[in-house]
Amino acid sequence: MTRKPSALDATPQAYGARRRILNLTAAILFAGAATDAAAQPTVIAALGDSLVQGYGLPEAEGFVPQLQAWLAANGAPEVTVLNAGVSGDTTAGGLARVDWTLTDEVDAVIVALGGNDLLRGIDPAETRRNLDGILAAIAARGLPVLLAGLPAPDNYGAEYRDAFDAIYPDLAAAHGAMLFGNFLAGIGGRDLAAARPLMQPDGVHPNAEGVAAVVAAIGPSVLELVTAAQED
């Protein structure tokens, strides 16, 4: 009776060939997995109000699309910026939605809230509590954060102005957050009257050129945020 070939009949050369094939297959799979991991973008959620959302502008001219284009042109093409801006949102609104903003894909956060608190004359102590809660929620996820402040106008009086202006540096220090002192620094900072050519007719929101100036000013800080996210 003819005996069927078994694995014991394989030659050393055959075993060597099989090993080489298995090793090559494993290497290809590993390289593919590494490539997929490297291809994953760094995702930044921009949590803010109408200044982030892009109020009054075509979608492509808002803060988030312009920031993403600036990052790509300045060495960070692998970054995706999520528009988590809601027009009219206060810091209380931001606190209410921060948890569902922090999805698993988010690697870092920009917090740019407080403008509507100023417009409504909200007590700085309440604004502080809300921003503190937002930063605590982000810290609980272990995510790096860039806190972008806004200076209070002088018409509320020196006491209100000083209390509001202290919120952002105090909280950034308390939570180990990066700080960009004035979101609107690129268009004149506190003196919005001087920035009129870069503003929409409402005098509150930047036009497309103004957004470009805002992005150019805050962009380097966002690059630092990207670096921090990629090092985690």
Residues recognised as catalytic: 50, 202, 205
Residue 192's pLDDT is: 60
User: CB neighbours (10 Å) of residue 116?
Assistant: 22
Residues 176-219 have pLDDT tens digits of 999 999 999 999 865 666 678 899 998 889 999 999 999 999 99
Given a cut of 80, whether residue 33 has pLDDT beyond it is: no
The overall pTM is greater than 0.85: no
What CA dihedral angle connects 116, 119, 125 and 130, to 10 degrees?
Answer: -10
Domain 41-231 classification at class level: alpha beta
CA atoms within 13 A on the CB side of 18: 7
Burial class of residue 147 (count of CB atoms within 10 Å of its CB; 0-12, 13-18, 19+): buried
3-state secondary structure of 45: strand
Residue of 195, 178, 172, 214 whose CA lies nearest to 70: 214
Amino acid at site 172: A
Domain residue spans in the chain?
11-40, 41-231
Residues 41-99 have pLDDT tens digits of 999 999 999 999 999 999 999 999 999 999 999 999 899 999 999 999 999 999 999 99
How far apart are alpha carbons 125 and 3 in whole angstroms? Answer: 89
Instruction: Check residue 206 and report its DSSP letter.
Output: B
Using 50, 70 and 90 to split pLDDT, how confident is the model at 6?
very low
Using 50, 70 and 90 to split pLDDT, how confident is the model at 116?
very high
Tell me if 121 sits within 8 A of 152, measured CB to CB: no
- The string of DSSP codes covering 150-195 is -PPPGGG-HHHHHHHHTHHHHHHHHHT-EEES-TTGGGTTT-GGGG
Average pLDDT over residues 5-31: 46
Q: For residue 61, give every residue at least 6 positions away whose Cβ sits within 8 Å of its Cβ, in sequence order, or none.
A: 54, 208, 211
Q: ∠ CA(62), CA(67), CA(71), 5° rounding?
A: 160
Residue of 93, 63, 94 whose CA lies nearest to 81: 63
Residues 118-169 have pLDDT tens digits of 999 999 999 999 999 999 999 999 999 999 999 998 899 999 999 999 999 9
